[in-house]
Structure 1
Amino acid sequence: MTISTRLITLAGQFRLGLALDAALELPPLMKSLVPLLPALPPATQQQLPQIMSAILACQEREDWLGLADWLEYELLHLLSDQV
């Protein structure tokens, strides 16, 4: 399963109220992005920490719909050319 597919699936789980299952899948997914970092363009590398911070903030607030939006729209769009 590609990272893009995993992001879409995970966002769907958050939207369907499967927050506990999705929250357990989130850290391994984020860790799978680490090996991609050196190959990303500098502009993407600079935007990634901001998006990750927003995702974590949504998780802390238990804003599952916001978190799904960040995953499926912002992060997926940022990585769309690389993954």
Structure 2
Amino acid sequence: MKSEDGLFTTTILQTAAAFRLGHEAGANEDLIAIIDKLGKLLVAIPRETLADFATLMQVTFDAQKRQDHIGVADLLEYELLHKLQTAGLLID
């Protein structure tokens, strides 16, 4: 599980970097993969924690819609990773 966690963390960090560098097409594809993985991770967490993730993802989608790629990158790298670690879904 730890190697999967490390791979997921790396994917999130690389996606954030791609958004910062202006590689939107690849970053958006990676974001879809992140969302798919999140869907699998979040099935067993408490409802109130799930609501926190839903709010974060809505803020992320709003930033993406505004084409605020730096904002999306920051949300992925700092907010999403922190929430995943706090919820015990990543062991890093």
Give CA-to-partner distance per residue, 1:10-39, whole Å, 9 cap, x none: 001111111121112211210111111133
**Please, what TM-score do these two structures have when normalized by structure 1?**
0.88
% of aligned pairs identical?
Answer: 35
CA RMSD of aligned residues (A): 1.5
Unaligned runs of 5+ in 1: none
Contact 2:19 2:69 in 1 (8 A): yes
Q: Which moved more, 1:39-48 or 1:56-65?
A: 39-48
Q: Is there any run of 5+ residues in structure 2 with no aligned partner, and where?
A: 1-5
Q: CA deviation at 1:42?
A: 4.1
Task: Decide which structure has the larger Cα Rg and report it.
Answer: 2
Residues 1-83 of structure 1 aligned to structure 2 (within 5 Å): 2-80=7-85, 81-83=88-90
Contact 2:13 2:77 in 1 (8 A): yes
- Report if the CA contact (8 A) 1:40-1:82 is conserved: no
